[in-house]
């Protein structure tokens, strides 16, 4: 008996999906466990596995099509089975849904449309193409001007005898009037500016990921009362620590790994910052799962380093590196992006010295990390060359008071400025 396959819900935030690629075609034999298609969700592109056996009888969505969760995706049954009544029954039972967008109506979410050129309205272009009007001047000369240009000149109150035409055989056209410069009227050497190009633009369809990012960050920014705490840490000891640590063969850690580890240890001492806000309660998390923001083509993904306080620096480095690679290749699984209790966003590698981030709700805080900068600093009353790093803690005031956030940053400062304490 034929079975209907619907658009799966592949993540907790997924409301619709895009068929990135069909790996099977109508008529193919399907076994349980076969990969039918790749589905693009709001978080990643994932393989969709079949739990049915039989023949693929029907495909309900073309590649690149978008449809809500539970929409008709495919039908698997016995070869030659009549499925017309089954399709009609499914569509009749379905509630009102958004129309499915096919490739003929719109390009896939990740595509960029061809460059479009703005043009004049039809009636305007028609006027411009009419034969030029011939006007006699007071001295018997002739001026050739398009009807549209003549109309615009009259509206602007411009004497057409003062306009230099750039059209065929010196004809005055619309753009000559639009860019007419009266100050250059009596200066023969002054040539009026005429643009060579035309206005143009390109539309980029919003991907599922970008839509969800926009919605969730908008909700966070306008629902959670953000405030920000700014600090600047001395990085001399951290730099020396990393250099010595990486001198060990087959060992390599980054500054970001040090920050993740230090943050995790500080959060254990300040569970209020490691909390989450819900409408009816506040949750103090005793475990530390740190989300590490990773920039990808369509936006931002946040893989989660779970129990980060219990992991070594090498383990954190390996985990972040692996998940960042999977994120950029759209192979990150939903369970690898769920459950964060705190988030870190690091733009230091791009030369950004300081910035603020929007809290990844329901978490109560997010740490923005800037670049390490060489600058003059005061040490023991003397000016010396030092290296510092600026960090900004964004807090949800519903759960984290200013003093609580400040105490957390003091603890974090101790770990980062004395990284050997993280090994104890």
Distance between CA atoms of residues 404 and 407, nearest Å = 5
Please count the other Cβ atoms lying within 10 Å of the Cβ belonging to residue 345: 22
DSSP letters spanning 210-262: HHHHHHHHHHHHHHS-EEEEEEEEE-HHHHHHHHHHTTSTT----HHHHHHHH
Is there a contact between 289 and 304 (Cβ–Cβ < 8 Å)? yes
Pairing label, strands 226-234, 200-201:
unpaired
Q: Look-up: residue for tokens 């004497």?
A: 159
Distance between CA atoms of residues 413 and 360, nearest Å = 23
Is there a contact between 238 and 416 (Cβ–Cβ < 8 Å)? yes
Catalytic-role residue among 270, 289, 387, 397: 397
The answer to whether 286 is a known catalytic residue is no
Query: Ramachandran region of residue 80, left (φ > 0), alpha (ψ -120 to 50) or beta?
Result: left
Q: Which class for 7: exposed (0-12), middle (13-18), buried (19 or more C-beta within 10 A)?
A: buried
Cis bond upstream, residue 239 (ω within 30)? no
Please identify every residue annotated as catalytic: 397
């Amino acid at each position: 008996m034929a079975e209907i396959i619907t658009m799966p819900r592949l993540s907790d935030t997924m409301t619709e999906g895009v068929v990135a690629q069909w790996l099977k075609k109508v008529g193919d034999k399907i076994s349980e466990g076969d990969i039918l298609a790749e589905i693009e969700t709001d978080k990643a592109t994932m393989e969709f596995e079949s739990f049915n056996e039989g023949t693929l009888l029907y495909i309900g969505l073309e590649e690149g099509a978008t449809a809500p969760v539970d929409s008709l995706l495919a039908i698997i049954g016995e070869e030659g089975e009549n499925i017309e009544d089954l399709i009609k029954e499914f569509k009749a039972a379905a509630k009102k849904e958004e129309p499915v967008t096919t490739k003929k109506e719109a390009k896939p979410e990740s595509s960029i449309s061809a460059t479009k050129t703005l043009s004049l309205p039809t009636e305007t272009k028609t006027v411009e193409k009419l034969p030029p009007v011939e006007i006699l001047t007071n001295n018997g000369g002739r001026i050739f001007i398009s009807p549209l240009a003549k109309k615009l000149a009259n509206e602007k109150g411009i004497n057409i005898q003062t306009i230099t035409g750039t059209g065929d055989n010196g004809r005055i056209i619309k753009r000559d009037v639009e860019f007419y410069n009266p100050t250059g009227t009596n200066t023969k050497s002054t040539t009026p500016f005429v643009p060579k190009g035309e206005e143009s633009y390109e539309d980029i369809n919003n991907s599922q990921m970008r839509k969800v990012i926009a919605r969730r960050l908008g909700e966070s920014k306008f629902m959670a009362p953000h405030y920000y705490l700014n600090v600047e840490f001395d990085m001399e000891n951290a730099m020396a620590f990393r250099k010595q640590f990486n001198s060990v063969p087959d060992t390599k850690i980054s500054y970001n790994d040090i920050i993740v580890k230090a943050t995790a240890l500080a959060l254990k001492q300040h569970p209020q910052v490691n909390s989450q806000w819900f409408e009816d309660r506040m949750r103090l998390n005793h475990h530390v799962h740190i989300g590490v923001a990773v920039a990808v083509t369509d936006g931002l993904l946040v893989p989660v380093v779970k129990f980060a306080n219990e992991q070594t620096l090498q383990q954190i480095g390996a985990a972040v590196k692996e998940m960042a690679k999977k994120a950029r290749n759209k192979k990150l699984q939903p369970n690898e992006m769920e459950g964060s209790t705190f988030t870190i966003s690091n733009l230091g590698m791009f030369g950004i010295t300081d910035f603020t981030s929007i809290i990844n709700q329901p978490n109560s805080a997010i740490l923005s990390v800037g670049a390490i900068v060489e600058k003059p600093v005061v040490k023991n009353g003397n000016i010396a060359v030092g290296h510092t790093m600026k960090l900004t803690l964004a807090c949800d005031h519903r759960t984290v008071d200013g003093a609580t956030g400040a105490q957390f940053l003091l603890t974090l400062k101790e770990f980062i400025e004395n990284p050997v304490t993280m090994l104890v």
